[in-house]
Amino acid sequence: MLTNIPGYPRIGSQRELKKACEQYWAGKISLERLELTARELRKENWTFLQAAGIDLIPSNDFSFYDQILDMSIALGVVPSRFKALQDTLANPTCLELYFAMARGYQKNNFDITAMEMTKWFDTNYHYIVPEFEIVQQYHLHRPKCVEEFLEARRLGITTKPVLTGLVTFILSGKIKDNHLTTSQVLQQLLPVYLQLLTSLQEAGAEWVQIDEPILVTDLDPTARELFHTTYHAISQAVPALKILLTTYFGGLEENTALAVQLPVQALHIDLVRAPEQLDSVLAALPEDKLLSLGVIDGRNIWKNNHATSLALINKALQQTGGHRLMLGTSCSLLHVPYDLEVETGLQPEIRQWMAFAKQKVAELRELQEIIAGNDQLLIANENSMDNRKIASIIHRPAVKARLEKITPADMQRHNIFALRQPLQHAALQLPLFPTTTIGSFPQTTEIRRLRADLKKGLITTETYEADLRNAITTTIHKQESLGLDVLVHGEFERNDMVEYFGEQLDGFAFTQNGWVQSYGTRCVKPPVIFGDVQRPGPMTVTWSRYAQSLTSKPVKGMLTGPITILQWSFVRNDQPRMNTAFQLALAIRDEVQDLEDAGISVIQVDEPALREGLPLRKAAHATWLEQAVKAFRLAVSTVSDTTQIHTHMCYAAFNDIIEHIAAMDADVITIETSRSQMELLEAFAQFRYPNEIGPGVYDIHSPRVPTVAEMEALLQKAVQLLPARSIWVNPDCGLKTRQWPETEMALRNMVTAARHMRLTASH
Ligand code: GLN
Ligand code: ZN
């Protein structure tokens, strides 16, 4: 049985690529130096995988920024706004254009906006969205996949080049012209894609991995047609290549027949996310095809349960004979950190249950040995699984018992919104078009240093707390003098909106170097939820109470919601994810109650990641959303009618989930709308969304100070769509990435815009 790795992390075990790219952008290192770093990282991965005995070693899984952008460059899918820049470059395929497409270009009299970025399926990895226009002329650019294949061969290593599938590539992109169809885009791109494969064939590649994860989503007849056209053309054009069609992140379901019948030599399936698909795939797979079994989890950091994998492998063995099977990780290891060995700070008991990329490669070899009869390895693995099952640090009977006792009443406010609203208005005494912010204020260098110094033990807790109180005091006074109505404390104590809570909850562990690429050079270090979640004590109350003591205006308590904490963590795999979400909800619920008890009358529970958790299949959306909404309601429904619950989400797609957003029953929702020019509000208006809304009136992602007039114009649009008394005035999102001067100017203008609105409304 061949071993197959669909992809390996590339940012560098010490984030070398991140650092090199950023230095290159800052003009501190040369292009040669950057390319040298990249070559070293590739070599390290290849030699490691070769030494580990992996048969199908990936190449072209390396990327300076994003593998989808690599494909755009390779096929010449360059938006026309970059054309003029491209014409001035000596080498039009160089990294300068590539980085310009990813990051925008404001140099040499150019001002070109970056390409859009969005999440790759249901991961936290963001890709650069390809843009298709009528005017584009596609031709083969810089065949990076060929270069990297040859580079590895010079090192004596035969690799399996990895390409994004053409259908997934097209369907993950955006068509910019109304008259252009996906079939037309395919017609134009296919010849170039075939050239790319031909050059791989000429370079002597044997196996080529083509990633088509779109096969685990709902496909319409046109998409199916794209598959037929593409793969028939490929089999004709490059008969000498062995194509390993790779799917992951879910099951093939009704696309099974389509996938197994495409003229390729092998199919890879994800048996971690969808073990049940093995039967139907085995039953349908033509006899001349190989099957790669993705049995080791590429999306999570837990040690593999070899017995579970073995059951799947044995079933496949019985029906095919080993010569037709490959063994692999479920998907690329891009989504997990490099190496567990360096995590000396983790509690050993927890650490022994985990595996990062390097360990997962070793697990593949272990599985091979177990298949060959090494029972010792299997027994050791079973023991480890057994001791995790009963470990006292994981299981908290009190938490489980509390979860059992939840009733629908716990997820329901005491009264309906129509009755709560007048009570809240009476209690809070806010003007029409009340103004507020989303929570965080600029995280200045001093604030960051303060937290870092505390962590390093350079300052005492007393000093830290005193300095933080000063920062809060200044921020409250600034907000008062700006004339804001509902104030915030500024979130200066938080490094990250999930980590801050995780660090104070039982059941969480933290790595020192567990970085995962999020986009480009940005990496995240997700917390690990290993056990039952419990809140030992209040997490935010001291800061909120202090902030409230400084002012007679309401100060919003600021919490992160259960679904967002879940989505941005590595979650335990020994119970359904939603159980963990409900445990998180209970912890947040206790915090909400404590805030209310401390005299906080407005509490915001952020759920910016709510949409990210949506299952890939539409049929599963409603059930998942119902559960997610319940978790949110469980977290907030403890408060009295007069306490106002806010939530915040920052994205622009609500149309398809609006009924669930309404079911959350937050008294106020603040959302991102400024970039979509209030278009988004139409979904709320059409639905007759009953509660209050704060449509973001300016984009916080840019240092630009919005004018009073433009914010007023947006608010004018909003009053066309929604009752004036439901409208709040606020920025798009938190202000932590901004500087103070622009923040104050922007908020001053925002408050003025709200005042103008009040004047017109009262006439
Ligand atoms: N309260 C958070 C902040 O203001 C919200 C961040 C977010 O939406 N991602 O920073
Ligand atoms: Zn936001």
Percent of the chain whose pLDDT exceeds 70: 99
Q: Would 493 be classed as within a structural domain?
A: yes
pTM to 2 decimal places: 0.96
Residues 365 and 449 grouped into a single domain: no
Q: In this structure, is residue 535 part of a structural domain?
A: yes
Q: Is residue 355 part of a domain?
A: yes
Q: Is residue 411 part of a domain?
A: no
Indicate whether 410 belongs to any domain.
no
- Taking the centre of ligand 2 as the mean of its atom positions, its distance from the CA of residue 480, in whole angstroms, is 23
Average pLDDT over residues 315-319: 96
Predicted confidence (pLDDT) per residue in 405-427, tens digit? 999 999 999 999 999 999 999 99
For atom 1 of ligand 1, which residue has the closest CA? 439
Which range marks the domain in which residue 627 is found?
419-762
CATH of the domain at 588: 3.20.20.210
pLDDT of residue 762 exceeding 90 = no
The mean-pLDDT minimum among 152-161, 352-361, 421-430, 643-652 falls in: 643-652
Q: What is the 695 CA–ligand 1 centroid distance (Å)?
A: 15
Helix 306-320 × helix 277-284 angle, to 10°: 20
> CA distances (Å), 620 to each of 177, 579, 613, in order?
31, 17, 11
459 within some domain: yes
Rounded CA Rg of the chain: 27
Half-sphere exposure of residue 282: CA atoms within 13 angstroms, side-chain side: 19
**Residue 36 forms part of a structural domain:** yes
Whether 379 and 435 map to the same domain: the answer is: no
Instruction: Of 318, 287, 425, 298, give the one whose Cα is nearest residue 364.
Output: 298
On the question of pLDDT at 92 being above 70, the answer is: no
Cβ–ligand 1 contact at 447 (below 6 Å): no
Q: Are residues 110 and 238 in the same domain?
A: yes
Average pLDDT over residues 718-738: 94
**Pair 432, 331 in one domain:** no
Q: Ligand 2: distance of its center to the CA of 441 in Å?
A: 13
The pLDDT of residue 136 is 80
**Residue identifier of the C-alpha nearest atom 6 of ligand 1:** 734
* DSSP run (H or E) holding 358: helix 357-371
Q: Which helix (H) or strand (E) holds 96?
A: helix 95-103
Q: Are residues 496 and 379 in the same domain?
A: no
**Is the minimum distance from the CB of 648 to ligand 1 under 6 angstroms?**
yes
Is 403 a domain residue?
no
The helices-and-strands tally (H runs, E runs) of the chain is 28, 22
Does residue 88 sit in the same domain as residue 196?
Answer: yes
Q: How far is the CA of 438 from the centre of ligand 1 (A)?
A: 6
Calculate the CA dihedral of residues 463, 466, 469, 474 and round it to 10 degrees: -90
Instruction: Give yes or no for a contact between 476 and 487, defined as CB atoms under 8 angstroms apart.
Output: yes
Domains of the chain: total: 2
Is the C-beta atom of 560 inside 6 A of ligand 1? no
Residue 93 pLDDT: 57
- The pLDDT of 340-363, averaged and rounded, is 97
Is residue 701 annotated as a catalytic residue, yes or no?
yes
- Residue nearest atom 4 in ligand 1 by C-alpha distance: 734
Residues 93 and 178 in one domain: yes
Q: Phi-psi bin for 292: left (phi > 0), alpha (psi -120 to 50), beta?
A: beta
Token pair recorded at residue 242: 């062995």
Report d(CA 300, CA 577) in Å as an integer: 12
> Looking at residue 382, what is its pLDDT?
97
Q: CA separation (Å) from 668 to 372, 437, 698, 753?
A: 60, 13, 18, 20
Same domain for 654 and 746, yes or no, is: yes
Q: Are 184 and 217 in contact (CB under 8 A)?
A: no
Judgement on whether residues 623 and 485 belong to the same structural domain of the protein? yes
**Are 443 and 365 contained in the same domain?**
no
Q: 197 with 152, same domain?
A: yes
Say if residues 241 and 197 touch (Cβ distance below 8 Å): yes
- Strand pairing class (522-524; 126-128): unpaired
* Cα–Cα distance, 693 to 701 (Å, whole number): 21
**In this structure, which residue's CA is closest to atom 5 in ligand 1?**
734
Tens digits of residue pLDDT in 497-507: 999 999 999 99
Phi-psi region of 12 (alpha: psi -120 to 50; beta: other; left: phi over 0): left
pLDDT per position as a tens digit, 359-405: 999 999 999 999 999 999 999 999 999 999 999 999 999 999 999 99
The Cα 607–Cα 634 span in angstroms is 14
pLDDT score of 763 more than 70: no
- Residue of 737 and 434 predicted with greater confidence: 434
Q: What is the mean pLDDT of the chain?
A: 95
Cβ of 650 less than 6 Å from ligand 1 = yes
Do residues 427 and 386 share a domain? Answer: no
Distance 292 CA to ligand 1 centre (A): 41
CB 207 within 8 A of CB 230: no
Q: Tens digit of pLDDT for each residue in 198-255?
A: 999 999 999 999 999 999 999 999 999 999 999 999 999 999 999 999 999 999 999 9
In this model, does residue 652 exceed pLDDT 70?
no
Mean pLDDT across 165-192 = 96
C-beta 606 within 6 A of ligand 1: yes
Tell me, what's the pLDDT at 669? 97
Atom index in ligand 1 nearest the CA of residue 648 equals 8
Assess whether the C-beta atom of 497 lies below 6 angstroms from ligand 1: yes
